[in-house]
Amino acid sequence: MRTTRLIGLAIALCAASVVVPFSSGATASASGKAPWCGGTQLSVSFSLVPFSAGAGNVSYALRVKNVSSSTCKVSGLAGMRLLGRKGKKLPTHVVNADPGVAVMFIVTLKPGHSAWAEGRFSADIPGTGEQQTGPCELTSYHVSVKVPPRGDAVVGPFSPPNPVCEHGRISLSVFGTKKPLT
């Protein structure tokens, strides 16, 4: 137990010294005086990263944008729920893209600026128990995102709409300041 606390303290101390400015107005740091972003301050979208398809997977960029007039901050791994055309909840299973490796930054968002995470999934290779002909799952048109650490849900577009195979399994990175590019 003591070893775990010491490791956690060492990680926190390393993270506290990191400040990464980004030209968009978002910064990543381990501290900040701004409050945590609430759902009414944010918009979200989950959009295809061009030319990212490969090895049966595709990447989408999760964008959380501060649409308020006040600076706020986000941090960590988002919770997500895939939604159908009319808002029906679809199978969703989000896993950390870098378990035990990723350091969570606090991303401070000035008004009009964004935090990003990358989601990778299969849109066409069915998993165990999924139908083998036709789409593996129903098509997702929207995504409901629980933005950490507050956890307020914000709904936005899934663009272009796609099924997410393996019962909605998405490998998602923690929030950062750079837009995912391939």
User: Which amino acid would we find at residue 24?
Assistant: S
pLDDT of residue 21: 33
1 inside domain = no
99 inside domain = yes
179 inside domain = no
pTM over 0.75: yes
pLDDT of residue 12: 39
pLDDT of residue 98: 85
Regions of the chain with pLDDT less than 70: 1-32, 101-103, 182
32 inside domain = yes
pLDDT of residue 41: 97
39 inside domain = yes
What is the total count of domains within the chain?
1
Residue matched to tokens 């956690």: 8
| Structural domain span for residue 98 | 19-172
Residue matched to tokens 């300041």: 177
pLDDT, tens digit (0-9, with 9 covering 90-100), for 71-82: 999 999 999 999
Of the candidates 95, 102, 101, 112, the one whose C-alpha atom is nearest the C-alpha of residue 25 is 112
178 inside domain = no
106 inside domain = yes
pLDDT of residue 171: 96
pLDDT, tens digit (0-9, with 9 covering 90-100), for 103-120: 678 999 999 999 999 999
pLDDT of residue 8: 41
5 inside domain = no
pLDDT of residue 89: 97
